[in-house]
Amino acid sequence: MNGQPTRVTIASGNRIIAATDDFSFVRNEITFLFGESGIGKSMLCKAVYGLLDPAELDISVGSMSYRHYLDINEIEGISRLGFFVFQEPSSHLNPLMRISAQLREGTIDGTEDEREIFERLWENRDTREVEEILDVYPKPYRPSGGEKQRILLAMAFKKIRRLAVQPRDVSALFIFDEPTGSLDNRYRNRFLAFLFEEYMLRQFTALVITHDYSIISEIYSKNNGLLDRIHFRELRHKGEGRVELVDFRADDYLTWLRSTSGRKNVTMAGDPVLRLSSRFTIFGREHRICSDEEHAQETDLLIRTGEMVYVKAPSGTGKTTLAKIIMGLYEAETCSMTLVGSSISQATPRLFFEREVWGKRAGMVFQHADDALDIEATVTETFAGLPLGRAFSHAELIRFLGELFEGKLDETFLSRQIKFLSGGQKQRLNLLRTIIMHPPLIILDEPLNGLDFDSARKIIAMLDQIRKQGSALLLISHNEEIFDALVEKECVYYLT
């Protein structure tokens, strides 16, 4: 694991879950690991860290069986002295214990530096807010997803501070699995700044698993002096669970971003597709739509044919809720809009949306593909039942899928069940399933979620193409850097 190629194989029976001939990272340096969702990044990291169960999976590391690997003293030190920040913090916080108690369990016992660490990860340094969080028993809705993520990060930083009393040659590994997935760019940047400051005080080995390629821009602008100790790598498909780890050229992303920013979408002054009143109420809370980041200029949300509109707000504010109101999936308490000529309010019955909106006036690409796809269905069956006007032949489906999928696409792929696709493949299928219906309005909730760089580029090119063909696009995304480069300022709205 010290920069030398290491073979790792994880299998269940005859099925390979993840296998690579080279899973390596440099000791006492920081590696950012990119790659699409479901490709095996987390599983490989868990295997190296020693978190998998050899009784449940067939695992080998190098030439060793996993049981032999786990017996190595260095591996025991990796987990004892390091920390693993899991992607889904809710499943790793005990609902029967206050946050403060969980922050002081086991190897992170003690309160020294705790408050200062919390304040570094929270934008508001009001001590009352910190006390309130520490006193909470975790619930599904409280703390918020972003707060739970920062709680696990605080635990990791407490462990990093413990390295100060360890010998210089200890083997400690810190793995951050999607540490900023629920954070907006402000909090993401606070985490990065804190991570690099701690690293400069005492070097440690860190792996940061992420889909957020815009992290590269932040590092290049704020931490240029550390670039010789930072590595960008990407995991790529080789087929049937096999992957390869390659160096990712940061300049590929930065150059593409500059070229994208240089050709922002020119809005076409077409007919209105959606006009949503500036105020709506749901779950007992009133929301406002504004044209400025300071929320001083309230305005209706207006989308015309050929426009790409971007709605921005901090995580948990209600962006996805807004999208589901437009689609009739949530019933607002007060709401007024016009969608492709039809007036809609909170009194509009669900049957109208089922008959007149879904797939006809509007379609939605959900943030999580598993929420939109039947995982037991096949690829072909995913397109069955859509209001397409006519049935597509297998040859036509293969050509259509080929716009976003690489490799061999044939009858075997069409008959594959969704549950056996990677997260990134599901997300691409999720997008194509909506686009093939060609509704006047397409709502995209985190359309780049779980995708690698090549797939993200292809999807953005496809979105630009369907926009030019007259579709109206409503974007919701944490990928602010990318969509700020794509969308004109006049087409950016702010939700509060």
| 206-223 per-position pLDDT tens digit | 999 999 999 999 999 999
Last residue of one domain, picked from the residues 248, 283, 306: 248
**What tokens does 361 get?**
């006036």
Q: For residue 141, what pLDDT is reported?
A: 74
| 116-171 per-position pLDDT tens digit | 998 899 876 556 777 888 899 998 778 888 889 999 999 999 999 988 766 665 57
For residues 319 and 379, membership in a common domain is answered with: yes
In a domain, 318, yes or no: yes
For residues 297 and 376, membership in a common domain is answered with: yes
Q: For residue 172, what pLDDT is reported?
A: 84
Q: For residue 270, what pLDDT is reported?
A: 87
Instruction: Tell me the average confidence (pLDDT) per consecutive run of 10 residues in the chain, 496 residues long.
Output: 75 93 92 93 94 95 92 79 90 90 90 88 72 86 84 94 71 91 87 96 93 95 94 91 94 92 63 97 97 96 96 88 97 97 97 95 92 92 85 89 86 91 90 94 93 92 92 93 91 96
The pTM of the full predicted model, rounded to 2 decimals, is 0.87
Q: For residue 415, what pLDDT is reported?
A: 93
| 226-259 per-position pLDDT tens digit | 999 999 999 998 888 899 999 999 999 999 998 8
For residues 243 and 342, membership in a common domain is answered with: no
For residues 355 and 239, membership in a common domain is answered with: no
**What residues make up the domain containing 42?**
8-248
Q: For residue 265, what pLDDT is reported?
A: 55
In a domain, 255, yes or no: no
In a domain, 261, yes or no: no
Q: For residue 183, what pLDDT is reported?
A: 84
CATH number of residue 20's parent domain: 3.40.50.300
For residues 372 and 344, membership in a common domain is answered with: yes
**What tokens does 34 get?**
């990119």
